[in-house]
Amino acid sequence: MDATDGPAVIKLGVEDAMAGLVLSTEARWNQTEDDWRVFLHDGIVFGIRDGMRLVATAALLPYSGNNAWISMVLVSGTHRRRGLATRLVDACLETARTNGLTSWLDATPDGAAVYGPLGFAPVLQLRRLRLVNSDRASAQAPAAATLDSLCTRDRRANGFDRTTLLSKFAQRSGSRIVSANGAIALVREGRTARHIGPLLADNAAAALALVNAIAQSEGSPLLLDAVASQTAFLEGLTASGWTIERPFQRMRFGSATATGEEVPFAVAGPEFG
């Protein structure tokens, strides 16, 4: 079959948020309907339908400085091994090339094996961790921090601005930005667990202390995506009850347009970078 044969690749709209959520829920991912609305409103989401049913997606979310994140590459179990994901990623890459954007993504090991031959180069590794049961204590919750403080620190770490994204996270019900001793993090709702990230800190001890304080003030399961090179932080998490679920490989297509001044301890999530 020719690569152009088969059902058409289409652009999705905000009205497709629930259909996208069905796909990510089938994959047991943590995204909410609000997350899908970010991609559909601020980015470009390509999809493939079988009749009226949405069966595959891929999203391109632009950031400042000619950068963009590719994510939400999903194919329903009933339609896998038909080349749908490749077609959708190709659509994202072509759109990025047309607009002069450097593309980034966080890939599973299987995904990295696919994206490497397409021209993506590895950058850093992540580890997804989960904490199911935290020991809630009467210790004071970490202090609230401002959105401006988080955006400034996040921009320093990434080399590009994500104020629009972080603002939307912060405005959601249940979200909070907290800080202590040179560490700052955003905590937000997810479908199956609350997510900590991005997390920026002066050192591993400060990062761990803030995560522990967050865990002690939360009653729900928690997820975070730690940067693997932050070894002391990662070891501290596993020693305190966090379980590593899976690795991700951050990859870039094209030349870097900016360089971060510090390495984060945890990122906003593989779908957002």
Q: What confidence tier does 114 reach under pLDDT thresholds 50, 70, 90? A: confident
Distance CA 239, CA 256 (A): 35
* Architecture of the structural domain at 127-248+256-267: 3-Layer(aba) Sandwich (3.40)
Residues 6 or more apart whose CB falls under 8 angstroms from that of 1 comprise: none
Q: 178: which strand partners?
A: 144, 185
Where do the structural domains in the chain lie, given as residue ranges? 9-100, 127-248+256-267
**pTM to 2 decimals?**
0.92
The third-level CATH classification (topology) of the domain covering 9-100 is: Aminopeptidase (3.40.630)
| Dihedrals phi, psi of 98, to nearest 5 degrees | -60, -35
Distance CA 185, CA 187 (A): 7
Asked if the domains 9-100 and 127-248+256-267 are classified in one and the same CATH topology, the answer is yes
Q: pLDDT tens, 2-26?
A: 445 678 999 999 999 999 999 999 9
Q: pLDDT tens, 184-199?
A: 999 999 999 999 999 9
Q: Side chain identity at 51, as an amino acid letter? A: G
Distance CA 266, CA 270 (A): 10
Residue 219: predicted pLDDT: 83
